Chains A and B, each alone.
Chain A
Amino acid sequence: MVAKNNFYLVRVTKSQEITVALILANKAEKIADQVKSILVLDEIPGYVVVEAENMGAIDSLIVGTPHVRGRVQSMLSFEEISRFLKRKSYIEELNIGDVVKLTRGPFEGEKARVASINKSRDEVTVELFESLVPVAITVPGDSVKKEKPKE
């Protein structure tokens, strides 16, 4: 039975998230069993997520740690964290010719039409609607979401 832990956000210097996570993990080993895990999520740049039983463990952990700029007062629930852990790939639901919306990357928010699907590599090739010249781009399967047809 896993006890209910809380998730605390530690504010760090951008691009130093992994360095800080490794330093914190090293320090956490000395605080027996209070820190359960440490996460660096691409979706939350500039922060390291620490799973711990209580706030006291985090405060003693971050004191004197380089690149740490403080701790966010509020905490996150497991439900908020778990949606970053398992990304849903919509590739199984897609067919060639479907209209999709790009959900990640430089073309985020753009609509496109599916030109080809590579299920084994979890990649989709799409043609952007907005571009004057048809441009085919290949994106990961979890970067597109099927648009519902307008009634």
Chain B
Amino acid sequence: MVRYKACRTCRALINGSKCPNCEKTDLTDNWNGLMIVLSPNDSMVAKEMEVKLPGCYAIHLR
């Protein structure tokens, strides 16, 4: 999981050079905490973190 980078805009964890969610290239490998959202419409965590799509996200970015 360490090789994954987090998008600075939407916090999605990705294994490439471009975020598939927001299509930005501003990525960081300095992140911690993992959040896997399975059901964004029913999840209280997803609502709090303003996540709209299922997937893996970082909780904190540096």
A residues lining the B interface (CB < 8 Å): 2-5, 17-18, 21-22, 25, 28-29, 33, 35-42, 51, 78, 81-82, 84-87, 122, 140
Kindly list chain A residues whose C-beta atoms are within 8 Å of the C-beta of B49: 85
B46 to chain A: closest residue by CB: A37
Q: A39-B34, A39-B59, A85-B59 are in contact. Are A33 and B39 (CB under 8 A)?
A: yes
A85 touches B48 (CB 8 A): yes
Kindly list chain A residues whose C-beta atoms are within 8 Å of the C-beta of B60: 42, 87
Set A37, A40, A41: member contacting B39, Cβ < 8 A: A37
B45 touches A35 (CB 8 A): no
B38 touches A40 (CB 8 A): no
Chain A's nearest CB lies how many Å from the CB of B24? 19
Kindly list chain A residues whose C-beta atoms are within 8 Å of the C-beta of B46: 36-37
A-B CB contacts (within 8 Å), total count: 76
Q: How far is the CA of A37 from the CA of B47 in the complex (A)?
A: 11
**Chain A interface mostly helix, strand, loop or mixed?**
mixed
Set B32, B34, B38, B62: member contacting A36, Cβ < 8 A: B38
B residues lining the A interface (CB < 8 Å): 1, 32-39, 41-49, 56, 59-60, 62
Q: Which of A21, A37, A42 has the most CB of B within 10 A?
A: A37
Q: Which of A2, A21, A33, A40 has the most CB of B within 10 A?
A: A2
B44 touches A78 (CB 8 A): yes
Q: How far is the CA of A42 from the CA of B61 in the complex (A)?
A: 13
Q: A41-B59, A85-B59 are in contact. Are A5 and B42 (CB under 8 A)?
A: yes
A42 touches B32 (CB 8 A): yes
A18 touches B45 (CB 8 A): no
Q: A39-B59, A41-B59 are in contact. Are A21 and B44 (CB under 8 A)?
A: no
Chain A's nearest CB lies how many Å from the CB of B12? 14
17 further A-B pairs in the complex, CB-CB below 8 A; given A22-B36, A41-B33, A78-B48: A2-B42, A18-B1, A18-B34, A22-B1, A25-B56, A35-B39, A36-B38, A36-B45, A37-B35, A37-B38, A38-B36, A39-B35, A39-B59, A42-B32, A42-B60, A78-B44, A85-B59
